[in-house]
Structure 1
Protein backbone atom coordinates (compact mmCIF):
# COMPACT_ATOMS: atom_id res chain seq x y z
CA UNK A 1 0.00 0.00 0.00
CA UNK A 2 1.39 3.38 -1.03
CA UNK A 3 1.23 5.91 1.84
CA UNK A 4 -0.29 8.66 -0.30
CA UNK A 5 -2.19 9.27 -3.52
CA UNK A 6 -1.95 12.53 -5.43
CA UNK A 7 -4.56 13.63 -7.97
CA UNK A 8 -3.19 16.65 -9.82
CA UNK A 9 -5.50 19.39 -11.00
CA UNK A 10 -4.80 22.56 -12.94
CA UNK A 11 -6.41 25.00 -10.48
CA UNK A 12 -5.19 26.93 -7.42
CA UNK A 13 -6.99 24.81 -4.79
CA UNK A 14 -5.44 21.75 -3.15
CA UNK A 15 -7.61 19.43 -1.07
CA UNK A 16 -5.78 17.75 1.79
CA UNK A 17 -7.31 14.48 3.04
CA UNK A 18 -5.17 13.13 5.91
CA UNK A 19 -7.68 10.98 7.77
CA UNK A 20 -9.92 9.11 5.29
CA UNK A 21 -7.48 6.23 4.85
CA UNK A 22 -8.22 2.89 6.52
CA UNK A 23 -5.06 0.87 5.80
CA UNK A 24 -3.35 -0.61 8.86
CA UNK A 25 -0.32 -2.90 8.30
CA UNK A 26 -0.93 -6.39 9.61
CA UNK A 27 1.95 -6.11 12.11
CA UNK A 28 0.09 -3.22 13.74
CA UNK A 29 -3.45 -4.52 13.24
CA UNK A 30 -2.77 -7.69 15.26
CA UNK A 31 -1.86 -5.54 18.26
CA UNK A 32 -5.08 -3.51 18.22
CA UNK A 33 -7.88 -4.47 20.59
CA UNK A 34 -11.54 -4.54 19.58
CA UNK A 35 -11.85 -0.80 20.15
CA UNK A 36 -8.89 -0.11 17.89
CA UNK A 37 -10.03 -2.52 15.19
CA UNK A 38 -13.29 -0.60 14.84
CA UNK A 39 -11.31 2.32 13.33
CA UNK A 40 -14.08 4.58 14.59
CA UNK A 41 -12.01 7.76 14.35
CA UNK A 42 -11.73 7.64 10.57
CA UNK A 43 -12.87 10.70 8.60
CA UNK A 44 -15.34 8.40 6.87
CA UNK A 45 -15.90 8.99 3.14
CA UNK A 46 -14.46 12.51 3.15
CA UNK A 47 -12.54 11.84 -0.07
CA UNK A 48 -15.77 10.70 -1.73
CA UNK A 49 -17.63 13.72 -0.38
CA UNK A 50 -15.27 16.19 -2.08
CA UNK A 51 -14.46 14.30 -5.27
CA UNK A 52 -15.69 16.09 -8.39
CA UNK A 53 -16.84 19.27 -6.67
CA UNK A 54 -14.18 21.50 -8.21
CA UNK A 55 -12.85 20.12 -11.53
CA UNK A 56 -9.48 21.89 -11.29
CA UNK A 57 -8.74 21.00 -7.68
CA UNK A 58 -5.86 18.74 -6.70
CA UNK A 59 -6.28 16.16 -3.95
CA UNK A 60 -3.59 14.68 -1.71
CA UNK A 61 -4.94 11.71 0.22
CA UNK A 62 -3.30 9.63 2.94
CA UNK A 63 -4.16 5.95 2.51
CA UNK A 64 -3.07 4.89 6.00
CA UNK A 65 -5.23 5.12 9.10
CA UNK A 66 -4.52 7.71 11.75
CA UNK A 67 -3.91 4.89 14.27
CA UNK A 68 -0.76 4.05 12.28
CA UNK A 69 0.42 7.66 12.55
CA UNK A 70 -1.61 10.86 12.52
CA UNK A 71 -0.78 12.92 9.43
CA UNK A 72 -2.36 16.01 11.00
CA UNK A 73 -0.18 16.10 14.11
CA UNK A 74 3.11 17.88 14.70
CA UNK A 75 5.89 15.41 13.83
CA UNK A 76 7.68 16.53 17.01
CA UNK A 77 4.71 15.43 19.09
CA UNK A 78 3.79 18.93 20.30
CA UNK A 79 0.13 19.20 21.32
CA UNK A 80 -2.12 21.28 19.08
CA UNK A 81 -4.43 22.12 21.97
CA UNK A 82 -2.42 22.41 25.21
CA UNK A 83 -4.53 21.70 28.28
CA UNK A 84 -7.33 20.03 26.30
CA UNK A 85 -8.00 16.38 25.63
CA UNK A 86 -6.70 15.32 22.22
CA UNK A 87 -4.98 12.40 20.53
CA UNK A 88 -1.27 12.24 19.82
CA UNK A 89 1.03 11.80 16.83
CA UNK A 90 0.82 8.04 17.29
CA UNK A 91 -2.50 7.52 19.11
CA UNK A 92 -2.85 4.93 21.86
CA UNK A 93 -6.45 5.89 22.69
CA UNK A 94 -9.53 6.66 20.61
CA UNK A 95 -11.58 9.86 20.69
CA UNK A 96 -13.38 8.57 23.77
CA UNK A 97 -10.11 8.15 25.68
CA UNK A 98 -10.25 4.34 25.51
CA UNK A 99 -7.11 2.27 24.80
CA UNK A 100 -6.85 0.97 21.23
CA UNK A 101 -4.01 -1.53 21.83
CA UNK A 102 -3.83 -4.76 23.77
CA UNK A 103 -2.04 -4.12 27.06
CA UNK A 104 1.70 -3.91 26.57
CA UNK A 105 1.44 -3.63 22.76
CA UNK A 106 1.61 0.16 22.51
CA UNK A 107 4.33 1.57 20.22
CA UNK A 108 7.44 3.00 21.84
CA UNK A 109 9.70 5.85 20.72
CA UNK A 110 11.74 4.03 18.08
CA UNK A 111 8.67 2.51 16.46
CA UNK A 112 6.85 5.82 16.43
CA UNK A 113 9.78 7.42 14.61
CA UNK A 114 9.85 4.55 12.10
CA UNK A 115 6.14 5.01 11.44
CA UNK A 116 6.62 8.74 11.04
CA UNK A 117 9.29 8.20 8.40
CA UNK A 118 7.32 5.51 6.57
CA UNK A 119 3.89 7.19 6.52
CA UNK A 120 3.69 10.73 7.92
CA UNK A 121 6.74 12.05 6.04
CA UNK A 122 5.71 10.78 2.57
CA UNK A 123 2.28 12.35 2.93
CA UNK A 124 3.73 15.74 3.77
CA UNK A 125 6.44 15.48 1.13
CA UNK A 126 3.69 14.93 -1.44
CA UNK A 127 1.48 17.69 -0.05
CA UNK A 128 4.31 20.22 0.05
CA UNK A 129 5.31 19.33 -3.52
CA UNK A 130 1.76 19.79 -4.76
CA UNK A 131 1.41 23.14 -3.03
CA UNK A 132 4.72 24.27 -4.53
CA UNK A 133 3.60 23.16 -8.00
CA UNK A 134 0.28 24.96 -7.70
CA UNK A 135 1.82 28.17 -6.39
CA UNK A 136 4.41 28.15 -9.20
CA UNK A 137 1.59 27.92 -11.72
CA UNK A 138 -0.87 30.37 -10.18
CA UNK A 139 1.22 32.61 -7.95
CA UNK A 140 -0.83 31.37 -5.02
CA UNK A 141 -1.92 28.03 -3.52
CA UNK A 142 -4.99 27.52 -1.34
CA UNK A 143 -4.94 24.43 0.86
CA UNK A 144 -8.39 23.35 1.97
CA UNK A 145 -7.90 20.63 4.57
CA UNK A 146 -10.83 18.20 4.59
CA UNK A 147 -11.93 16.57 7.86
CA UNK A 148 -14.92 15.07 9.64
CA UNK A 149 -15.69 13.81 13.13
CA UNK A 150 -18.58 12.36 15.10
CA UNK A 151 -21.07 15.00 16.13
CA UNK A 152 -20.85 14.13 19.83
CA UNK A 153 -17.50 13.24 21.44
CA UNK A 154 -17.63 14.19 25.14
CA UNK A 155 -13.95 13.39 25.68
CA UNK A 156 -12.99 16.09 23.18
CA UNK A 157 -15.74 18.70 23.41
CA UNK A 158 -18.92 19.50 25.28
CA UNK A 159 -22.30 19.05 23.60
CA UNK A 160 -23.02 18.52 19.90
CA UNK A 161 -20.49 19.88 17.43
CA UNK A 162 -21.69 22.44 14.84
CA UNK A 163 -22.03 21.07 11.31
CA UNK A 164 -19.35 23.31 9.77
CA UNK A 165 -16.23 23.95 11.86
CA UNK A 166 -13.88 26.31 10.04
CA UNK A 167 -10.34 26.69 11.34
CA UNK A 168 -7.76 29.33 10.46
CA UNK A 169 -5.82 29.36 13.75
CA UNK A 170 -7.50 32.63 14.66
CA UNK A 171 -7.01 34.18 11.24
CA UNK A 172 -3.28 33.52 10.86
CA UNK A 173 -3.23 30.79 8.18
CA UNK A 174 -4.95 32.54 5.28
CA UNK A 175 -5.92 35.91 3.89
CA UNK A 176 -8.98 37.45 5.57
CA UNK A 177 -10.83 37.26 2.25
CA UNK A 178 -10.56 33.47 2.29
CA UNK A 179 -11.85 33.20 5.84
CA UNK A 180 -14.70 35.60 5.07
CA UNK A 181 -15.69 33.75 1.88
CA UNK A 182 -15.95 30.43 3.71
CA UNK A 183 -17.67 31.75 6.82
CA UNK A 184 -20.25 33.76 4.88
CA UNK A 185 -21.26 30.59 3.07
CA UNK A 186 -21.35 28.30 6.08
CA UNK A 187 -23.38 30.88 8.00
CA UNK A 188 -25.84 31.13 5.12
CA UNK A 189 -26.24 27.38 4.62
CA UNK A 190 -29.88 26.78 5.54
CA UNK A 191 -30.41 23.98 8.02
CA UNK A 192 -26.76 23.81 9.09
CA UNK A 193 -24.93 25.23 12.09
CA UNK A 194 -21.43 26.66 11.92
CA UNK A 195 -18.56 28.12 13.91
CA UNK A 196 -15.21 29.78 13.18
CA UNK A 197 -12.17 28.81 15.25
CA UNK A 198 -14.22 26.98 17.84
CA UNK A 199 -13.02 23.64 19.23
CA UNK A 200 -11.14 23.05 15.97
CA UNK A 201 -8.91 25.93 14.95
CA UNK A 202 -6.94 24.01 12.33
CA UNK A 203 -4.56 21.13 12.86
CA UNK A 204 -0.82 20.94 12.24
CA UNK A 205 -1.33 20.82 8.47
CA UNK A 206 -3.23 24.09 8.37
CA UNK A 207 -0.86 25.81 10.78
CA UNK A 208 2.29 24.50 9.10
CA UNK A 209 1.41 25.31 5.48
CA UNK A 210 -0.62 28.46 6.05
CA UNK A 211 1.89 31.21 5.22
CA UNK A 212 -0.14 33.93 3.52
CA UNK A 213 2.82 36.27 3.08
CA UNK A 214 4.49 33.60 0.92
CA UNK A 215 1.41 32.87 -1.17
CA UNK A 216 0.33 29.75 0.72
CA UNK A 217 -3.12 30.00 2.27
CA UNK A 218 -4.62 27.21 4.39
CA UNK A 219 -8.01 26.61 5.96
CA UNK A 220 -9.44 23.55 7.68
CA UNK A 221 -13.02 22.35 7.46
CA UNK A 222 -14.15 19.88 10.12
CA UNK A 223 -17.59 18.53 9.28
CA UNK A 224 -19.87 16.89 11.81
CA UNK A 225 -20.47 13.41 10.41
CA UNK A 226 -24.22 13.63 10.85
CA UNK A 227 -24.14 15.86 7.76
CA UNK A 228 -23.23 13.00 5.40
CA UNK A 229 -23.36 9.62 7.18
CA UNK A 230 -26.40 7.40 7.64
CA UNK A 231 -25.09 6.52 11.10
CA UNK A 232 -22.11 7.73 13.11
CA UNK A 233 -21.35 4.18 14.21
CA UNK A 234 -20.66 0.88 12.49
CA UNK A 235 -20.90 0.56 9.50
CA UNK A 236 -20.41 4.36 9.11
CA UNK A 237 -22.38 4.25 5.86
CA UNK A 238 -22.41 7.13 3.39
CA UNK A 239 -25.84 8.72 3.03
CA UNK A 240 -26.32 9.75 -0.59
CA UNK A 241 -29.20 12.13 0.08
CA UNK A 242 -27.50 13.89 2.98
CA UNK A 243 -24.22 14.07 1.11
CA UNK A 244 -25.71 15.55 -2.05
CA UNK A 245 -27.42 18.26 -0.01
CA UNK A 246 -24.14 19.04 1.70
CA UNK A 247 -22.09 18.90 -1.50
CA UNK A 248 -24.03 21.86 -2.89
CA UNK A 249 -22.62 24.04 -0.11
CA UNK A 250 -19.13 22.55 -0.29
CA UNK A 251 -19.04 23.19 -4.03
CA UNK A 252 -20.06 26.79 -3.44
CA UNK A 253 -17.24 27.19 -0.90
CA UNK A 254 -14.57 25.69 -3.14
CA UNK A 255 -15.72 27.66 -6.18
CA UNK A 256 -15.50 30.87 -4.16
CA UNK A 257 -11.92 30.06 -3.11
CA UNK A 258 -10.91 29.34 -6.70
CA UNK A 259 -12.39 32.66 -7.81
CA UNK A 260 -10.51 34.51 -5.07
CA UNK A 261 -7.10 33.13 -5.98
CA UNK A 262 -6.11 35.71 -8.65
CA UNK A 263 -6.94 38.55 -6.25
CA UNK A 264 -4.50 37.22 -3.63
CA UNK A 265 -1.36 37.54 -5.74
Structure 2
Protein backbone atom coordinates (compact mmCIF):
# COMPACT_ATOMS: atom_id res chain seq x y z
CA UNK A 1 0.00 0.00 0.00
CA UNK A 2 1.38 3.46 -0.87
CA UNK A 3 2.67 5.45 2.07
CA UNK A 4 1.05 8.75 2.99
CA UNK A 5 3.53 11.55 2.24
CA UNK A 6 4.57 13.85 5.09
CA UNK A 7 1.59 16.16 5.80
CA UNK A 8 3.66 19.33 6.11
CA UNK A 9 7.02 20.93 5.55
CA UNK A 10 8.64 23.36 7.97
CA UNK A 11 10.80 26.35 7.07
CA UNK A 12 12.97 27.21 10.04
CA UNK A 13 14.16 30.70 11.01
CA UNK A 14 17.78 31.30 11.95
CA UNK A 15 16.68 32.62 15.34
CA UNK A 16 13.27 31.50 16.55
CA UNK A 17 10.89 34.22 17.71
CA UNK A 18 7.44 34.00 19.30
CA UNK A 19 5.49 33.52 16.05
CA UNK A 20 4.41 30.44 14.12
CA UNK A 21 2.88 30.87 10.66
CA UNK A 22 0.79 28.09 9.15
CA UNK A 23 -0.41 27.83 5.55
CA UNK A 24 -3.02 25.06 5.29
CA UNK A 25 -4.52 25.46 1.82
CA UNK A 26 -1.79 26.24 -0.73
CA UNK A 27 -1.05 22.69 -1.90
CA UNK A 28 -2.49 21.05 -5.03
CA UNK A 29 -1.37 17.53 -4.07
CA UNK A 30 -3.84 14.66 -3.74
CA UNK A 31 -1.90 11.62 -2.57
CA UNK A 32 -2.23 8.25 -4.31
CA UNK A 33 -4.56 6.75 -1.71
CA UNK A 34 -6.81 9.81 -1.59
CA UNK A 35 -6.94 9.97 -5.38
CA UNK A 36 -8.77 6.64 -5.48
CA UNK A 37 -11.79 8.32 -3.90
CA UNK A 38 -11.31 12.04 -4.56
CA UNK A 39 -11.47 13.15 -8.18
CA UNK A 40 -11.37 16.90 -8.59
CA UNK A 41 -11.35 18.78 -11.92
CA UNK A 42 -7.84 20.12 -12.48
CA UNK A 43 -9.06 23.69 -12.85
CA UNK A 44 -10.95 23.48 -9.55
CA UNK A 45 -7.98 21.95 -7.75
CA UNK A 46 -5.97 25.08 -8.49
CA UNK A 47 -8.76 27.66 -8.20
CA UNK A 48 -9.93 26.43 -4.80
CA UNK A 49 -6.45 26.36 -3.29
CA UNK A 50 -5.16 29.45 -1.51
CA UNK A 51 -3.21 30.46 -4.59
CA UNK A 52 0.46 31.04 -3.78
CA UNK A 53 -0.22 31.61 -0.08
CA UNK A 54 3.03 29.83 0.73
CA UNK A 55 4.86 32.29 -1.51
CA UNK A 56 3.13 35.33 -0.02
CA UNK A 57 4.24 34.28 3.47
CA UNK A 58 7.60 33.00 2.25
CA UNK A 59 9.79 35.63 3.93
CA UNK A 60 8.39 35.33 7.46
CA UNK A 61 11.36 33.20 8.55
CA UNK A 62 13.57 36.25 8.03
CA UNK A 63 11.72 37.83 10.98
CA UNK A 64 12.09 34.75 13.21
CA UNK A 65 8.81 32.95 12.47
CA UNK A 66 8.62 29.22 11.87
CA UNK A 67 6.61 28.53 8.72
CA UNK A 68 4.51 25.34 8.59
CA UNK A 69 3.07 24.59 5.13
CA UNK A 70 0.60 21.77 4.49
CA UNK A 71 1.52 19.42 1.65
CA UNK A 72 -1.97 18.02 0.98
CA UNK A 73 -4.74 19.72 -0.98
CA UNK A 74 -7.77 20.90 0.95
CA UNK A 75 -9.67 18.33 -1.12
CA UNK A 76 -7.87 15.58 0.82
CA UNK A 77 -8.95 17.13 4.12
CA UNK A 78 -9.61 20.71 5.18
CA UNK A 79 -7.08 21.51 7.89
CA UNK A 80 -8.98 24.62 8.94
CA UNK A 81 -12.28 22.84 9.66
CA UNK A 82 -12.68 20.55 12.67
CA UNK A 83 -13.35 16.96 11.66
CA UNK A 84 -16.11 15.24 13.59
CA UNK A 85 -15.57 11.65 14.66
CA UNK A 86 -16.26 9.57 11.54
CA UNK A 87 -19.29 7.28 11.68
CA UNK A 88 -21.06 5.22 9.02
CA UNK A 89 -23.47 8.11 8.49
CA UNK A 90 -22.64 10.74 5.89
CA UNK A 91 -23.76 13.67 8.01
CA UNK A 92 -21.17 12.78 10.65
CA UNK A 93 -18.22 12.66 8.27
CA UNK A 94 -15.82 15.60 8.26
CA UNK A 95 -17.04 18.44 6.08
CA UNK A 96 -15.94 17.87 2.50
CA UNK A 97 -15.64 14.12 3.09
CA UNK A 98 -19.32 13.35 2.60
CA UNK A 99 -21.39 13.41 -0.56
CA UNK A 100 -21.79 17.02 -1.57
CA UNK A 101 -22.27 19.02 -4.73
CA UNK A 102 -19.19 21.12 -5.13
CA UNK A 103 -19.11 24.53 -6.75
CA UNK A 104 -15.59 25.72 -7.44
CA UNK A 105 -14.29 29.26 -7.49
CA UNK A 106 -13.51 28.41 -11.13
CA UNK A 107 -17.23 27.94 -11.84
CA UNK A 108 -17.06 24.17 -12.25
CA UNK A 109 -19.57 21.96 -10.44
CA UNK A 110 -19.43 18.25 -9.69
CA UNK A 111 -20.80 15.67 -7.30
CA UNK A 112 -18.28 14.40 -4.78
CA UNK A 113 -19.06 11.11 -3.04
CA UNK A 114 -17.91 10.23 0.45
CA UNK A 115 -14.86 7.96 0.69
CA UNK A 116 -15.02 4.84 2.86
CA UNK A 117 -14.81 5.31 6.61
CA UNK A 118 -11.33 3.76 6.73
CA UNK A 119 -10.07 6.33 4.23
CA UNK A 120 -11.59 9.19 6.22
CA UNK A 121 -9.92 7.89 9.38
CA UNK A 122 -6.59 7.62 7.54
CA UNK A 123 -6.75 11.24 6.47
CA UNK A 124 -7.60 12.42 9.97
CA UNK A 125 -4.89 10.23 11.53
CA UNK A 126 -2.09 10.72 9.00
CA UNK A 127 -2.70 14.27 7.76
CA UNK A 128 -4.95 16.32 10.03
CA UNK A 129 -3.71 15.37 13.49
CA UNK A 130 0.07 15.41 12.74
CA UNK A 131 -0.28 18.83 11.13
CA UNK A 132 -2.00 20.35 14.14
CA UNK A 133 0.30 18.52 16.56
CA UNK A 134 3.26 20.22 14.86
CA UNK A 135 1.64 23.64 15.23
CA UNK A 136 0.85 22.99 18.90
CA UNK A 137 4.42 21.88 19.60
CA UNK A 138 5.86 24.95 17.88
CA UNK A 139 3.59 27.28 19.84
CA UNK A 140 4.50 25.57 23.11
CA UNK A 141 8.21 26.00 22.35
CA UNK A 142 7.71 29.66 21.44
CA UNK A 143 5.75 30.36 24.60
CA UNK A 144 8.34 28.61 26.77
CA UNK A 145 11.11 30.63 25.13
CA UNK A 146 9.46 34.05 24.97
CA UNK A 147 6.62 33.99 27.50
CA UNK A 148 4.06 34.44 24.72
CA UNK A 149 3.31 32.91 21.33
CA UNK A 150 1.31 33.97 18.28
CA UNK A 151 -0.11 31.80 15.54
CA UNK A 152 -0.69 33.44 12.17
CA UNK A 153 -2.89 31.39 9.84
CA UNK A 154 -2.12 32.48 6.28
CA UNK A 155 -4.76 32.36 3.54
CA UNK A 156 -5.86 33.98 0.28
CA UNK A 157 -9.38 34.32 -1.08
CA UNK A 158 -11.06 34.49 -4.53
CA UNK A 159 -12.74 37.83 -5.12
CA UNK A 160 -15.42 36.28 -7.31
CA UNK A 161 -16.89 34.54 -4.26
CA UNK A 162 -16.52 37.51 -1.90
CA UNK A 163 -17.09 40.67 -3.95
CA UNK A 164 -16.38 43.89 -2.14
CA UNK A 165 -14.29 42.35 0.63
CA UNK A 166 -11.25 44.25 1.86
CA UNK A 167 -7.72 43.73 0.55
CA UNK A 168 -6.87 41.99 3.82
CA UNK A 169 -9.29 40.39 6.24
CA UNK A 170 -8.02 39.82 9.77
CA UNK A 171 -9.80 37.04 11.62
CA UNK A 172 -9.79 36.91 15.41
CA UNK A 173 -12.97 34.94 16.10
CA UNK A 174 -14.48 38.28 17.03
CA UNK A 175 -11.77 39.10 19.51
CA UNK A 176 -11.68 35.73 21.25
CA UNK A 177 -8.41 34.46 19.78
CA UNK A 178 -6.13 37.49 19.97
CA UNK A 179 -5.58 40.54 22.16
CA UNK A 180 -6.21 44.06 20.93
CA UNK A 181 -2.50 44.86 20.67
CA UNK A 182 -2.06 42.04 18.14
CA UNK A 183 -5.00 43.23 16.04
CA UNK A 184 -3.74 46.80 16.16
CA UNK A 185 -0.25 45.76 15.06
CA UNK A 186 -1.60 44.11 11.90
CA UNK A 187 -3.92 47.03 11.17
CA UNK A 188 -1.05 49.52 11.38
CA UNK A 189 1.07 47.49 8.96
CA UNK A 190 -1.83 47.20 6.49
CA UNK A 191 -2.35 50.94 6.63
CA UNK A 192 1.36 51.60 6.07
CA UNK A 193 1.29 49.35 2.99
CA UNK A 194 -1.79 51.03 1.54
CA UNK A 195 -4.04 48.00 2.02
CA UNK A 196 -7.66 48.14 3.14
CA UNK A 197 -8.39 45.91 6.13
CA UNK A 198 -11.55 44.42 7.61
CA UNK A 199 -11.89 42.69 10.95
CA UNK A 200 -13.60 39.27 11.05
CA UNK A 201 -15.81 39.94 8.00
CA UNK A 202 -16.27 37.77 6.01
CA UNK A 203 -13.59 35.52 7.58
CA UNK A 204 -13.72 35.41 11.40
CA UNK A 205 -11.18 32.59 11.60
CA UNK A 206 -11.42 28.83 11.42
CA UNK A 207 -10.41 25.72 13.29
CA UNK A 208 -6.75 26.64 13.68
CA UNK A 209 -7.66 29.68 15.77
CA UNK A 210 -10.27 27.81 17.77
CA UNK A 211 -7.92 24.92 18.45
CA UNK A 212 -4.68 26.71 19.25
CA UNK A 213 -5.54 30.10 20.78
CA UNK A 214 -5.15 30.25 24.57
CA UNK A 215 -5.25 33.94 25.39
CA UNK A 216 -5.26 33.38 29.15
CA UNK A 217 -2.05 31.36 28.72
CA UNK A 218 -0.36 33.88 26.44
CA UNK A 219 -1.04 32.10 23.14
CA UNK A 220 -2.77 34.30 20.57
CA UNK A 221 -3.97 33.38 17.08
CA UNK A 222 -4.85 35.44 14.00
CA UNK A 223 -6.08 34.52 10.52
CA UNK A 224 -4.92 36.69 7.63
CA UNK A 225 -6.78 36.47 4.30
CA UNK A 226 -5.31 38.30 1.29
CA UNK A 227 -7.41 39.10 -1.79
CA UNK A 228 -6.20 37.42 -4.98
CA UNK A 229 -6.85 40.56 -7.04
CA UNK A 230 -3.78 42.04 -5.42
CA UNK A 231 -1.32 39.61 -7.00
CA UNK A 232 -2.81 37.26 -9.63
CA UNK A 233 -5.11 37.09 -12.65
CA UNK A 234 -8.64 36.05 -11.66
CA UNK A 235 -9.12 33.80 -14.70
CA UNK A 236 -5.71 32.23 -15.35
CA UNK A 237 -4.37 32.49 -11.77
CA UNK A 238 -1.09 33.70 -13.26
CA UNK A 239 0.99 35.48 -10.65
CA UNK A 240 2.29 39.03 -11.02
CA UNK A 241 5.82 38.77 -9.57
CA UNK A 242 6.15 42.41 -8.52
CA UNK A 243 2.86 42.25 -6.61
CA UNK A 244 3.83 38.96 -4.98
CA UNK A 245 7.07 40.60 -3.82
CA UNK A 246 5.14 43.58 -2.45
CA UNK A 247 2.86 41.30 -0.43
CA UNK A 248 5.83 39.28 0.84
CA UNK A 249 7.03 42.58 2.23
CA UNK A 250 3.66 43.13 3.86
CA UNK A 251 3.56 39.73 5.56
CA UNK A 252 7.17 40.07 6.70
CA UNK A 253 6.32 43.46 8.20
CA UNK A 254 3.33 41.90 9.99
CA UNK A 255 5.61 39.37 11.67
CA UNK A 256 8.08 42.08 12.67
CA UNK A 257 5.28 44.23 14.14
CA UNK A 258 3.72 41.32 16.05
CA UNK A 259 7.11 40.28 17.42
CA UNK A 260 7.75 43.81 18.65
CA UNK A 261 4.25 44.10 20.15
CA UNK A 262 4.55 40.76 21.95
CA UNK A 263 7.75 41.89 23.62
CA UNK A 264 6.22 45.00 25.20
* TM-score scaled by length of structure 2: 0.83
Shift in Å, 1:64: 0.3
Shift in Å, 1:33: 4.5
Residues 6 and 61 of structure 1 are in contact (CA less than 8 Å); yes or no, is this contact kept in structure 2?
yes
Question: Partner of 1:210 in structure 2?
Answer: 213
Cα deviation 1:220-261 (Å, max 9, x = unaligned): 0011111122x1334x22211111222332222221001112
Residues 1:225 and 2:228 are matched in the alignment: yes
2-structure distance, mates of 1:175, 1:145:
16
Out of 155, 163, 168, which is 2:167 matched to? 163
Residues 230 and 243 of structure 2 are in contact (CA less than 8 Å); yes or no, is this contact kept in structure 1?
yes
Moved more, 46-55 or 165-174: 46-55
Cα deviation 1:207-227 (Å, max 9, x = unaligned): 221111111110000111111
5+ residue gaps, structure 2: 86-93
Question: Partner of 1:180 in structure 2?
Answer: 184
2-structure distance, mates of 1:73, 1:134:
24
Residues 75 and 89 of structure 1 are in contact (CA less than 8 Å); yes or no, is this contact kept in structure 2?
no
2-structure distance, mates of 1:220, 1:254:
13
Look up the SS of the partner of 1:222 in the other structure.
strand
Pairing of 1:116-195 with structure 2 (within 5 A): 116-153=124-161, 157=162, 159-190=163-194, 192-195=195-198
Question: Partner of 2:91 in structure 1?
Answer: none
Q: What's the RMSD between the two structures over aligned residues?
A: 2.4
Residues 1:115 and 2:123 are matched in the alignment: yes
Pairing of 1:6-21 with structure 2 (within 5 A): 6-9=10-13, 10-21=16-27
Question: Partner of 1:237 in structure 2?
Answer: 238
Residues 3 and 63 of structure 1 are in contact (CA less than 8 Å); yes or no, is this contact kept in structure 2?
yes
Question: Partner of 1:254 in structure 2?
Answer: 255
Count of aligned positions: 245
Residues 1:61 and 2:69 are matched in the alignment: yes
Moved more, 20-29 or 105-114: 105-114
Shift in Å, 1:184: 2.8
Cα deviation 1:66-120 (Å, max 9, x = unaligned): 000001111228xxxxxxxxx9353752445965556xx4324443222111211
Distance 1:100 1:32, change over 3 A: farther
Shift in Å, 1:36: 7.1
